[in-house]
Amino acid sequence: MDIRGSKFAPAGFRDIAGEKALALLSTDEISRAAYPGPDIAGFSLQMAAADPQAPLDPAALADARMVLIEVDPASPRSISRLGMAAKLPIHPFVVAAVRDPTLAQVRQLLREGAQDVIGLPLLAEEVEGLLVQLRAELDASRRGAGTRGKLVSIVKAVGGVGATAIATQLACLFAEQEAQSGRTACLIDLDLQFGNAAMYLGENPKLTLQEVLEAGARVDGAFLKAVTAAHASGLAIIAAPQDMMPLEAVDTDQVCEFVEIASREYGTLFLDLPGNWTNWSLSLATRSDLVLLVTELSVPSLRQARRQLNLLRQQGSADLDVRIVLNRYEKGLFRALKLEDAVQVLGHSVDFTVANDFPVVSAALDQGVRLTEIKARNRVSRDLTNMAAGVAQRLYPES
């Protein structure tokens, strides 16, 4: 009898042509599971009966690339098995399988060591999707081992200058452009208190930056992929925490490490930084390949932008690349301030201007859509498209 096509593959079965993926379920859940087949995306998928309360056998899991573990969220003993699996030498992708998990339970399981959470009973297409995703990540990791993506920090001269609106719309345009070159982009909303990047793009992810920070040293590429929201443009988004967090509560080494991990998963990272400087936000800005400093054509905004420039020059290296973005820019003979006045106040060239079209921008942000969905042709989208091309040319001049 060829057991590879059966619904239940015993734990002793091994297809040496593939890497091992193991599902540990109770007998009741095995009887309900839809088995997708033994060979998916180069993985040898095995199911084995295991009591959700019983300790795991490290020897049985030692060579598994993925371990899917049924968990009883009401049992601390059952939950603790996730941490044990995550510490195995091969560092498998750990998936918690739970019946009708709540948001609070998902967060708890991620903190305990799970890198993804799946509902029970198992559906064949969901298991297959997990393995296909894992295969893609493993292949990408092997191809790009040691490579680091580009960092773009978005800095506000003062609050209310529209930096997050620019960051979201620009990142979407950039992600679409970069897809043509086979690269990916991710926007991380690091404004722990007032971040709205996900909302501005119509996303309301259950998992946010808070889960990343709580996970600490357990964060890896797979964990980050589980937390990101996927926008239709191809942009990945890590949303700001749902609840306000003190800026000083974030450890500099921790946030820099997780950004470093994210930079190995994506070609370009856009970092929407908080309005107030901290050790960690300043560290990220000075490590960036490009800093976009967003200001307006007003005396208070320009003066504050000049102070921001001075700080970045003092803290950063001599070759830190800072580009000025003048938002809500209107041309006119009778304006009190003109573009050349901005250059004089800043002591720096204005690299990008973004037109003032309040009705279109306001409607897009309120509805959580792209600007072109409000008005197909608008001046703001034109300027942001030019900015995206300029950013790409700066980051990838060889393309």
One-letter amino acid of 101: P
2 pLDDT more than 50: no
Domains, in order of start, for the chain: 3-143 (3.40.50.2300), 150-395 (3.40.50.300)
Q: What's the mean per-residue pLDDT of the chain?
A: 86
103 pLDDT more than 70: yes
- Give the tens place of pLDDT for each residue, 82-93: 888 877 766 788
Residue 281: what pLDDT? 94
* Token pair recorded at residue 22: 């193991």
118 pLDDT more than 80: yes
- Give the tens place of pLDDT for each residue, 291-334: 999 999 999 999 999 999 999 988 866 678 999 999 999 887 56
Q: What are phi and psi of 294, to 5 degrees?
A: -95, 130
* Token pair recorded at residue 396: 């990838």
Residue 144: what pLDDT? 52
Most confident of 64-78, 95-109, 133-147, 156-170: 156-170
- Give the tens place of pLDDT for each residue, 125-163: 888 888 887 877 776 655 555 578 999 999 999 999 999
pTM: 0.72
* Token pair recorded at residue 386: 């030019």
Whole-angstrom CA distances from 289 to 115, 263, 286, 314, 319 are 30, 12, 8, 17, 10
Cβ neighbours of residue 126 under 8 Å, at least 6 residues apart?
118, 119
Residue 223: what pLDDT? 85
Whole-angstrom CA distances from 378 to 166, 301, 357, 368 are 14, 25, 8, 17
> CA-to-CA distance for 116 and 126, rounded, in angstroms?
12
Mean pLDDT of 163-177: 96
Q: What is the DSSP string of 199-255?
A: HHTT---SS-HHHHHHHGGG--HHHHHHH-EE-TTS-EEEPPPSS---GGGS-HHHH
Task: Give the whole-number percent of the chain exceeding pLDDT 90.
Answer: 52
Mean pLDDT of 58-68: 83
How wide is the angle at C-alpha 282 spanned by C-alphas 110 and 296, nearest 5°?
110
Poorest-pLDDT segment among 4-8, 80-84, 317-321, 359-363? 4-8
> CA-to-CA distance for 250 and 214, rounded, in angstroms?
10
Poorest-pLDDT segment among 36-40, 236-240, 374-378? 36-40
Residue 3: what pLDDT? 24
